Structure 1
Amino acid sequence: MKNKLYILLFLVFLFSGTTLWAQQKATPKAGEGISSFLLRHNRSPKKYYDDFIELNKQKLGKNNVLKVGMTYVIPPVKKSTTASAKTTSAKNTGARNTASESAGIKQPSSKAKSTKIGTTINEPLFGKQLANVKVTSNRLAGACFYVVSGHGGPDPGAIGKVGRYELHEDEYAYDIALRLARNLMQEGAEVHIIIQDAKDGIRDDSYLSNSKRETCMGDAIPLNQVQRLQQRCDKINALYRKDRKNHSYCRAIFIHVDSRSKGKQTDVFFYYSNKKGDSKRLANNMKDTFESKYGKHQPNRGFSGTVSGRNLYVLSHTTPASVFVELGNIQNAFDQRRLVMNSNRQALAKWLMEGFLKDYKEKK
């Protein structure tokens, strides 16, 4: 009887020990975020992100940043999600630059290639209520876009104030970028959202909460300005090298909010690359679109937005033609209405989409 008990205890110890020994651990690469780390180890961030934080919360830096040289526990595979984890891994193997997932969110580019009218695309980046995007037009079929909201992560950009509320440039630029991306997808375009937040989605609040969660397609955003800008340029250029084989029209847009003296009211204005004719034409088409919209919706006000060439870093270092947009002065009370009202943010996104549409028709 004692021998049987010893054998039983030995077997229990053996199997429990095997479980412990099988626990997978690894160290992150320099600049790697949680999502990229999970993907590299065949775990879908959407299913394992929270588990990873729970297992490693004592080892994470501020805002859940991975520390180089630190060993982290990789969440064990869930039986019910094994198939989906393998599918996610297969989609991303050898193709992180074309269909990366960020913080549990799939890139729109993985499902948005010349999509047919009536197709529904699921893009969790837009939030639960708006995640399903129905393609209602093919006006931008064959076109590809790289939508980049300015700043993000450790850099909030310009900061304005309305009473006790702070308006952070990166939050408002991001919300408008998401709205624009969704509009473009509805028109049948392929869209890459370069700066991503795992939780925000499209928000209708007037005063958007601030965070430092944003990543550059899953990678932590550097604090150093040049490194930060180069990172997003590298992402775009890597995607473009593949996209240009399947798309005759590829364009990037960088969305920002300016900061000037409180008394300086400004309209939306556009910068283009001095070295690219397509960039200049795009900026002018954007400006013309806004001018016509203001003429229709605010005929007595007029539009004073401008177009000018600038050798800005992101315009000079991205391969596809691009446009840099400043949406107004975040310090000015009148311009702030353009940001805090969700209907205005939606209008800005719609007009930017129509600017692209005008340019695309001319290119064709």
Structure 2
Amino acid sequence: MITFKDLRTYLLLLLLWLGIADLHAQNYPKVIAKTGDGVYVLLRRHGLDPTAHFKAFVDLNKKNIGEGNSLYAGRAYLLPLANPAASDAPGAAKKTTSASVLEVPLFGKDYERVKIIDRKLQGAVYYLMAGHSGPDPGAVGKYGPYMLSEDEYAYDVTIRLARRLMEHSATVYMIIQDPDDGIRDQTILKMDRDEVSYSGKPIPYDHKLRLRQRVNEVNTLYKKHTGAYQRMLSVHVDSRSKGQNIDVFFYHHENSPSGLALAESIHKVFTSKYQRYQPNRDYFGSVSPRSSLYVVKYSHPPTVFVELGNIRSEKDQRRFVTPNNRQALANWICDGILADYASHKDK
């Protein structure tokens, strides 16, 4: 039999719990979304790295978020609590309980835990820029009944490269980011337009404004790391006649010996890999100056512009659509980067 005293005790405990729960909820700052706001823009405005706090924000506000994680102007949203341990490297990499493991949400659920395998690239800073993105899919090819877009495949190779570099303790910035793609192991990568710049800004429709935006972000970060070893890579997929398969090409600024050295180091790895894995064919990839390319001309760090192949060629398409091949491309570029940095340290 429940007495009045028992009931009063139960009600007091319930009220106390509700008070604690309400206090817990009030610990999250409330902000009002503006017209045109997306999750990334809102988080950036309030000093939070979106790739670190995207999931927490969505979880806090899941009943108040529209289709495609859109926000409603004029509505109040809860902000996640800032994590003082979070880094501003890609996906706001943060250390877990193990000093040798990072968590990088940008890499996706299956790949977000990054185990540090050595310190070979400690002190090096890399800016990785996947070509096109947002409203611009870049080159497009047909693969059976499917359409392949340059930006999706260049992005997947680039983000795989980011993860490999971080395994060697590099500081890495993904200048173009997709908040929900991560590293993908599908053959056909779905085309979308939700990529944003590193700072969380939408990617402009105008071609020159797109290039200017990403170069400005690289150069701003470059100043932050003044005095450090810094390099930039821009990853693309070419488009030529359907029957023309091509090898991987590397471009650099004609007045950048450091850019040339990095390009030659990566090219050397590709040449040796092709000799090993495809000994019955010649490798015609090359290194050459191409200073007219906007990102090569105006980026402050020494820059290498990479063309991975022809998206319209059936032979080259195998280089992109097979996930293991995309990983191999990232691995080989990483090997060239490792060799370049080792050579730099030896001087």
Query: TM-score scaled by structure 2?
Result: 0.82
Distance in 2 between the 1:24 and 1:36 partners? 12
Indicate if the aligned counterparts of 2:139 and 2:150 stay in contact, CA closer than 8 A.
Answer: yes
Distance in 1 between the 2:235 and 2:47 partners? 33
Indicate if the aligned counterparts of 1:339 and 1:345 stay in contact, CA closer than 8 A.
Answer: yes
Note closer, same or farther for the CA distance 1:122–1:76 as it changes in structure 2 (3 Å cut): closer
State the partner residue of 1:75. Answer: 77
Indicate if the aligned counterparts of 2:89 and 2:173 stay in contact, CA closer than 8 A.
Answer: no
Matching of residue 255 in structure 1 with residue 230 in structure 2: no
Matching of residue 223 in structure 1 with residue 223 in structure 2: no
State the partner residue of 2:19. Answer: none
Distance in 1 between the 2:192 and 2:244 partners? 28
State the partner residue of 1:152. Answer: 133
State the partner residue of 1:27. Answer: 34
Distance in 2 between the 1:198 and 1:148 partners? 15
Indicate if the aligned counterparts of 1:23 and 1:73 stay in contact, CA closer than 8 A.
Answer: no
Matching of residue 283 in structure 1 with residue 288 in structure 2: no
Q: Which amino acid aligns with 2:34?
A: T
Q: Which amino acid aligns with 1:76?
A: L
Query: Given the alignment, which residue of 224, 228, 238 partners 1:242?
Result: 224
Indicate if the aligned counterparts of 2:33 and 2:42 stay in contact, CA closer than 8 A.
Answer: no
State the partner residue of 2:92. Answer: 107
Q: Which amino acid aligns with 1:244?
A: T
Indicate if the aligned counterparts of 1:39 and 1:45 stay in contact, CA closer than 8 A.
Answer: no
Unmatched 5+ residue regions in structure 1? 1-18, 78-84, 93-97
Note closer, same or farther for the CA distance 1:347–1:26 as it changes in structure 2 (3 Å cut): closer
Note closer, same or farther for the CA distance 1:139–1:74 as it changes in structure 2 (3 Å cut): same
Deviation of 1:91 (Å): 7.2
State the partner residue of 2:120. Answer: 139
Distance in 2 between the 1:139 and 1:261 partners? 41
Deviation of 1:36 (Å): 2.5
SS at match of 1:86: coil
Note closer, same or farther for the CA distance 1:23–1:178 as it changes in structure 2 (3 Å cut): closer
Indicate if the aligned counterparts of 1:144 and 1:190 stay in contact, CA closer than 8 A.
Answer: yes
State the partner residue of 2:41. Answer: 36
Distance in 2 between the 1:229 and 1:65 partners? 25
Deviation of 1:308 (Å): 1.1
Note closer, same or farther for the CA distance 1:48–1:64 as it changes in structure 2 (3 Å cut): closer
CA displacement, residues 161-204 of structure 1 (integer Å, 9 cap, x when unaligned): 11111111110001101110111011111111111111111111
State the partner residue of 2:273. Answer: 293
Distance in 2 between the 1:34 and 1:189 partners? 28
Deviation of 1:144 (Å): 1.1
SS at match of 1:99: coil
Indicate if the aligned counterparts of 2:245 and 2:313 stay in contact, CA closer than 8 A.
Answer: yes
Distance in 2 between the 1:184 and 1:241 partners? 21
State the partner residue of 1:352. Answer: 333
State the partner residue of 1:86. Answer: 81
**1:26-65 maps to which residues of 2 (within 5 A)?**
26-27=33-34, 33-41=38-46, 44-49=53-58, 55=64, 57=66
State the partner residue of 1:9. Answer: none
SS at match of 1:129: coil
Deviation of 1:260 (Å): 0.1
Q: Which amino acid aligns with 2:55?
A: K
The total of aligned residue pairs comes to 311
Deviation of 1:52 (Å): 5.8
Q: Which amino acid aligns with 2:184?
A: R
What RMSD in Å do the two structures reach over aligned CA positions? 2.7
Matching of residue 210 in structure 1 with residue 191 in structure 2: yes
Note closer, same or farther for the CA distance 1:53–1:151 as it changes in structure 2 (3 Å cut): farther
Q: Which amino acid aligns with 1:48?
A: F
Query: Given the alignment, which residue of 293, 304, 309 partners 2:284?
Result: 304
Distance in 1 between the 2:35 and 2:58 partners? 15
Distance in 2 between the 1:315 and 1:361 partners? 23
Unmatched 5+ residue regions in structure 2? 1-25
CA displacement, residues 13-60 of structure 1 (integer Å, 9 cap, x when unaligned): xxxxxx9xx97425368xx64312134236743222466686364xx9
Kindly, what percent of the aligned residue pairs are identical?
41
Distance in 2 between the 1:275 and 1:305 partners? 21
Deviation of 1:344 (Å): 0.7
